[in-house]
Amino acid sequence: MADEIHAVDQSTPSIARVYDYLLGGKDNYAVDRAIGDRFKDDMPGSVAIAHSNRAALVRAVRDIALNTGIRQFLDLGSGLPTADNVHQVAQRNAPGSRVVYVDNDPIVLAHGRALLEENEDTCVIRADLRDPRRIREHPGTTRLIDFDRPVAVVLSAILHHVNDEEDPVGLVEYWRDQVPSGSHFFVSHFRSGNNPETAEAEAVLQKTFGRGRWRTDEEIAGLLPGLEVLEPGIVPTAAWRPDEAVGVPRIGPPDAGLSVWERLIVAAMARKP
């Protein structure tokens, strides 16, 4: 693990660590905080985006665990551990659930292994989302995931970091073809708003990381070929199956009452027929 920490480039910002900073985490460096502070100062609603996305992920995992019978989760581009991680939500609602986390950031691997070392039903592997075969054939994946049974594939806030020329549709198709009928896909994605906020945020990500692709609802739907998008469809994360106990159920369009920032990230649950 010491070698993994040593391998971390502290001079280059990391998407996972910037996201950790926006969520209030401490697993980040000065270079990550500098980028995060630009979002906080110039685009203050970006913090709401991070928290809204995380809350929708928690609801999605809980929903899958409680209502589908699925007991295995593949979290692609998982990011750094935080409160209510996928394995915690899944195992709390469906004991015995198995979770494989995948990320290409070495610090995610190091911190994830420290968190999960006593949980035999979880593992963290370092791999790139754009190399799905390596993920599929990794010993950690084959140990925990039975691809003859339905799988929950989690793509939370990761496909927008895959540029068009890197074939995000092909990545989703690969996993669709690996899992059986009844498998679920949870996706959240930056949504193009054709407004200054979208343009500025996209420019910052492209300049910093060379990636970050805002897409329209139609383009996001196009990332899910051969999958049935379940209710309520592709909607802002804040409006995706909100907990009624938290407030009054929304009335009207999914965007009703949401800030421009909350409209800039959407979520969808899809099922393989």
Q: What is the pLDDT of residues 130-140, one digit of tens each?
A: 999 999 999 99
- Per-residue exposure over 238-250, b if at least 16 CB sit within 10 Å of its own CB, e if not: bbbbbeeeeeeeb
Q: What is the pLDDT of residue 210?
A: 61
Give a yes or no: residue 95 inside a domain.
yes
Residue-number span of the structural domain to which 96 is assigned: 2-240+254-271
pTM: 0.83
Q: What is the pLDDT of residue 115?
A: 66
- Per-residue pLDDT of 171-218, as tens digits, reads 999 999 999 999 999 999 988 877 776 677 677 766 666 667 889 999
Give a yes or no: residue 248 inside a domain.
no
Which CATH number goes with the domain that contains 62? 3.40.50.150
Give a yes or no: residue 113 inside a domain.
yes
Alpha-carbon distance 18 to 27, whole Å? 9
Give a yes or no: residue 247 inside a domain.
no
Give a yes or no: residue 263 inside a domain.
yes
> Into how many domains does the chain fold?
1
Distances (CA, A) of 35 to 16, 29, 165, 231: 12, 10, 25, 35
- Per-residue pLDDT of 8-40, as tens digits, reads 667 677 767 776 777 777 777 787 788 777 776
Give a yes or no: residue 232 inside a domain.
yes
Give the list of residues 6+ apart from residue 184 with CB closer than 8 angstroms, or none.
64, 68, 70, 150, 151, 152, 153, 269, 270, 271, 272
- Asked if the model's pLDDT at residue 117 lies above 80, the reply is no
- Asked if the model's pLDDT at residue 1 lies above 60, the reply is no
Chain-centre distance for alpha carbon 192: 18
Burial class (CB in 10 A: 0-12, 13-18, 19+), 269: buried
Give a yes or no: residue 8 inside a domain.
yes
Give a yes or no: residue 245 inside a domain.
no
| 98-103 vs 228-229, strand pairing mode | unpaired
How sure is the predictor about 44, in pLDDT bands with cuts at 50, 70 and 90?
low
Alpha-carbon distance 18 to 127, whole Å? 19
